[in-house]
Structures are given as structure tokens and as C-alpha cells.
Amino acid sequence: MAYKRQFYPGATTPAVNRRRYMDPKVNLKKLRDVSMDDVVRIMGHRNPGEDYKTIHAPLDENPYETLCPIRALVKPIEGAKSGDRIRYIQFTDSVYFAPISPYQRAWMYLSRYRGIDTGTLSGRQIIEVRERDLEVLAKEMIDNETFDPALTGIRGATVHGHACRLDENGLMFDGWQRYVWDDSKKEVVYVKDQVALPLDRKISVGKPASMSDLQKRTTIFRADGVDMRDDKEVSMYGLRIHKLRTLGGYQPFKVKGV
């Protein structure tokens, strides 16, 4: 029997969304179209139209690379072929029903993309990859259903705020105010890049979703939304693992009857 890849258990909305976001065969819904030049401006690594900086010669110009057995096995991504430097983008996801959360971003990135390095912290997820590949990935993530203008922040530094209450317009707190509410258009605009350097002009990332829509799209289990305990298939494994880890530490086998 052919191996069938598994992603996540459960039948509740957050469980189904986790499977969808992780499965590379699922085309995620595109909700907006931020131009590539504006994505580049928000990331702040280079100016739109500027050449990519390199850290080594293109692979096909290095005669010694042809002797590498790994090259025969692994197809290089475009940035690696060209010798691009490695850059990053970092997303902060609110605990208030953001479409996705940091550790699920890691699952999704590793399932959908090649040549990446990613790391999870409490409320944010960094992804590092060759620069031209990063820009394509970043635009996909900003345009699709895993991003919400109010509850997802692009923050390269001073990222805290994911657990603070939302403001009067439903925006997640950002100490550097990289994005603000445009009351005339009823949408969110970026006025600073991801490390809080002022932009030459405002960049719109669109209108926030309604809370009812967000609760349908989210991967987050919450007591005031869908509780993990409501999904027996999820709680059978997830809550048991958490309980064993909490009670038993490095010796969960010593915990009886759990």
C-alpha cells in the first residue's frame, strides 16, 4: 500500500484549517494583491529594482560544484543557483483568532517550501531563505488567507504585542506602530518597514476580516471559540502529551494512569 501522508488529527474547524494550511496540495485562497515592489519595501532588505546582493558566485560558474554528489540529488532553489544572500521575514500572530499561529507557520513552511530555515518564538515566526525566493514566499503569505491585516504583523524587531488586547479598530498592538488604521479607507496601511524605518509612502494591506470570518479561518483553539477538548481526536493525543510533559518532565513513563 502506498504511503499516505498525514498532517493533523481532528474534525473541528481549527483542526481542519491546520491540515489545509500544511498540505502543499491545497491552494490557499488569495484575499488581496499587494504588489511585489511593496512587499520588498515592507521587508526593507533592498530597494525595488535593485540587484540582489550575492554571497557566492552562481553555481553553474563554479567548476568544483559539478563534483559535488549532493548536487546530483538536490535541485537548488533559484536564489541558491544565483548565489543570493539569505534574508528573512517575520510574522507576529495575535492570540485573538489570527488565521494561524507561530508554530503552525513552522509546520506550514516546512511542508510547503524548500531551502528554508525557520524558528518559533512565543508570538512570532521568522523564516530565512535566499532573497529572491523569500520575496516570492513573502508575497504569497501576505496575499493569502493565513494573513489578516489587523491580526498579523510583519515585524523584524520589537515584535511583542500578540497577547495584548486589540485596539478600538481591532488592530493588534505594535510598539513601533509599523501599521496604522486608515479611517478614510477603513483599511490597514504600513507606514514603516519591518524594522520600523519610515517608508516613503503608505502601503495598504487591505481591510481586516470580520470576527465571524476569522473564527472560521483560524487554527487557534480557544475556550471562547472552539475548545481543544471539544475535539476528542485532538485531545486524545495533544492534551495527554501536554499533561505527561508537565507532570513527568523527562520521565513521563513514571506518571501512572494518564
pLDDT tens digits for range 73-101: 889 999 999 999 999 999 999 999 999 99
Q: Is the pLDDT of residue 65 over 70?
A: no
Confidence band for 222, pLDDT divided at 50, 70 and 90: very high
User: Residue 166: how many CB atoms within 10 A of its CB?
Assistant: 16
Which ranges in 6-130 belong to alpha helices (H)?
A: 13-22, 36-43, 69-73, 78-82, 102-112
State the average pLDDT for the chain: 93
Confidence band for 245, pLDDT divided at 50, 70 and 90: confident
pLDDT for the residue numbered 105: 96
pTM of this structure:
0.90
User: Per-residue pLDDT tens for 118-168?
Assistant: 999 889 999 999 999 999 999 999 999 999 999 999 999 999 999 999 999
Q: Domains (ranges, CATH) in the chain? A: 13-226 (3.90.320.20), 227-258 (no CATH)
| Spatial distance between the Cα atoms of 120 and 253, rounded to a whole number of angstroms | 28
Are the CB atoms for 239 and 10 separated by under 8 Å? no
pLDDT above 90 covers what percent of the chain? 78
